[in-house]
């Protein structure tokens, strides 16, 4: 059953025992971020956190860690909370086939009831802002769906974009936003600046959980995120027009912030503790002028802690990073079996594949590096045989231990693009990339001694079932 907004999802999490209400009074800092930092360590069924008794605020409602466990991620997709990681990725792949599903336009969004315009805009009166990591340069908004359109092709629904970017609060009506050059909003901004224009944007906060998933999915430039949300939800995504900019925004959001990225203006933003487990320093970033805020009468501030993995962001961006790379590889290489790009947003990618001929696995590894996401993220690609499960790390380690000979299996490609946040890059944005071929050589590639691989005994599968049954009866 799809959710039309954050609240109905929080209700389901509550019913499923996946929402922990912290009712004791807490300090805004460091308690809320520290609790969200700790929450995923409760394991695969870690709950979301809900705070409404925050010292110094009379009217704060803050939801943290909403996507921060495999159980919550499963519920977001409408799956039973026990659904395993691999099964969730497999189901994601199946639903991807339904793309595109046209959204449903609705009127009277619940966030239309309260507004602030122009000089009366004060974001501090709407959001109970808190800092996340102790070295952050300020308050951040890091889970908003940011909507923009291509200024050269404004009517094209496909090239309209919904993405999550880091946003720093700089003042009552000023924000800073980081557009990574590999992301769609950077292309929109470049076109606007070439025309000497500002870029209108809408930031939707507090959303149906599938909106956050599609907004952080590396889709192709002309693929529309709402049409993917419809495929993942199994029902059209409810959207509406933002009143000032006319941009398509989720109907069910808690808060919608509208304004413009001011063309050709940059100001210092940061530092910010990032998903890489490292801080970015202060850098010159784009500036948003807020012209209007619309919000529900009792808005819930949905926020996300990130830092040393694993945190909520690793669950949020896990399956949705694997699936597009899998789909894109599969178009040219149907031999590809599975892709695990869940580590640090795919800075490492593990691919299992059958091989057509000698050298094939290396070619598959090269292709990963030129997928839209691979260009900016994949720094290391590990390729394994089709009988190795990329989600089973002991199996991957076995392949690395026994199949990989550095003499012929390490391919290093110098001076490749990577997002500037990658800490290992010496000059930010440029890194050497590595393909590790941990597959069994085949065809004309005759290296190594692999003729006698031990196989499972034929009866092992039968015994696994039998042992499960015996163990369950104990």
Q: What are phi and psi of 189, to 5 degrees?
A: -65, -40
Sequence-separated (6 or more) residues with CB below 8 Å from residue 399: 382, 384, 385, 388, 438, 439
Q: Is the peptide bond preceding residue 407 cis, with omega within 30 degrees of 0? A: no
Tell me if residue 130 falls in helix, strand or coil: coil
C-alpha triplet 295, 228, 287: angle, nearest 5° = 45
Please confirm, yes or no, whether 274 is among the known catalytic residues. Answer: yes
Name the minimum Å distance from CB 372 to Mn ion: 10
Q: Which is nearer to Mn ion, 161 or 253 (CB)?
A: 161
Name the minimum Å distance from CB 223 to Mn ion: 6
Q: Of 254, 274, 302, 312, which one is the catalytic site residue? A: 274
Q: Which is nearer to Mn ion, 214 or 436 (CB)?
A: 214
Name the minimum Å distance from CB 145 to Mn ion: 11
Q: Which is nearer to Mn ion, 187 or 439 (CB)?
A: 187
Q: Which is nearer to Mn ion, 161 or 311 (CB)?
A: 161
DSSP 356: S
- CA-based nearest residue to 170, from 290, 350, 323: 290
Stretch (H or E) spanning 301: strand 301-302
If phi > 0 it is left, if psi is from -120 to 50 it is alpha, else beta; for residue 346 that is: left
Per-residue CA distances from 203 to 20, 159, 173, 294, 298 (Å): 27, 17, 13, 10, 18
Tell me if residue 338 falls in helix, strand or coil: strand
Using DSSP bridges, classify how beta strands 19-22 and 48-51 pair: parallel, antiparallel or unpaired: parallel
Name the minimum Å distance from CB 311 to Mn ion: 24
**CB 161, CB 185: distance < 8 Å:** yes
Q: Which is nearer to Mn ion, 182 or 336 (CB)?
A: 182
The token pair at 132 is: 């996340």
Name the minimum Å distance from CB 215 to Mn ion: 9
Q: Which is nearer to Mn ion, 53 or 156 (CB)?
A: 156
Give the footprint of Mn ion on this chain (CB under 5 A): 161, 184
**CB 383, CB 438: distance < 8 Å:** yes
Name the minimum Å distance from CB 112 to Mn ion: 26
Query: Which of the residues are catalytic?
Result: 274
């Amino acid at each position: 059953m799809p959710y039309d907004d954050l609240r109905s999802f929080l209700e389901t999490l509550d019913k499923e025992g996946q929402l922990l209400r912290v009712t004791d009074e807490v300090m805004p800092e460091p308690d809320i971020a520290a609790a969200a930092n700790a929450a995923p360590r409760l394991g695969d069924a870690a709950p979301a956190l809900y705070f409404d008794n925050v010292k110094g605020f009379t009217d704060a409602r803050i939801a943290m860690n909403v996507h921060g466990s495999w159980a919550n991620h499963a519920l977001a997709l409408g799956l039973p909370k026990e659904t395993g990681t691999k099964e969730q990725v497999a189901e994601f792949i199946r639903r991807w086939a339904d793309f595109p599903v046209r959204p449903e336009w609705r009127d009277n969004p619940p966030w239309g009831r309260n507004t602030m315009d122009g000089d009366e805009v004060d974001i501090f009166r709407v959001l109970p802002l808190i800092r996340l990591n102790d070295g952050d340069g300020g308050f951040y908004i890091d889970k908003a769906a940011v909507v923009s359109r291509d200024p050269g092709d404004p009517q094209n629904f496909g090239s309209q974009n919904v993405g999550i970017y880091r946003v720093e609060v700089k003042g009552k009506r000023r924000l800073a936003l980081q557009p990574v050059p590999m992301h769609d909003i950077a292309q929109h901004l470049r076109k606007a600046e070439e025309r000497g224009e500002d870029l209108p944007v809408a930031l939707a906060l507090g959303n149906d959980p599938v909106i956050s998933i599609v907004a952080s999915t590396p889709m192709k430039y002309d693929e529309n995120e709402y049409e993917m949300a419809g495929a993942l939800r199994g029902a059209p995504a409810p959207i509406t027009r933002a009143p000032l900019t006319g941009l398509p925004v989720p109907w069910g959001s808690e808060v919608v912030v509208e304004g413009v990225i001011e063309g050709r203006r940059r100001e210092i933003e940061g530092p910010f503790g990032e998903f890489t487990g490292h801080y970015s320093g202060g850098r010159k970033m784009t500036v948003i002028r807020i012209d209007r805020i619309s919000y529900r009468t009792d808005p819930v501030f949905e926020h996300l802690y990130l830092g040393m993995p694993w945190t909520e962001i690793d669950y949020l961006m896990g399956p949705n990073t694997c699936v597009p790379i899998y789909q894109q590889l599969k178009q040219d290489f149907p031999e590809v079996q599975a892709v695990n790009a869940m580590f640090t947003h795919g800075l490492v990618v593990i691919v299992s594949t059958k091989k057509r001929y000698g050298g094939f696995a290396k070619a598959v590894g090269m292709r990963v590096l030129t997928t839209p996401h691979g260009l900016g993220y994949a720094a290391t690609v590990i390729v394994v045989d089709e009988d190795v499960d990329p989600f089973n790390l002991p199996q991957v380690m076995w392949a690395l231990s026994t199949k990989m000979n550095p003499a012929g299996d390490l391919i290093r490609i110098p001076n490749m693009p990577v997002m500037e946040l990658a800490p290992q890059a010496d000059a930010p944005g440029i890194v050497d990339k590595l393909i590790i071929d941990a597959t069994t050589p085949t065809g004309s590639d005759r290296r190594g001694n692999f003729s006698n691989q031990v196989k499972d005994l034929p009866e092992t599968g039968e015994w696994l079932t039998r042992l499960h049954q015996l163990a369950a009866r104990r």
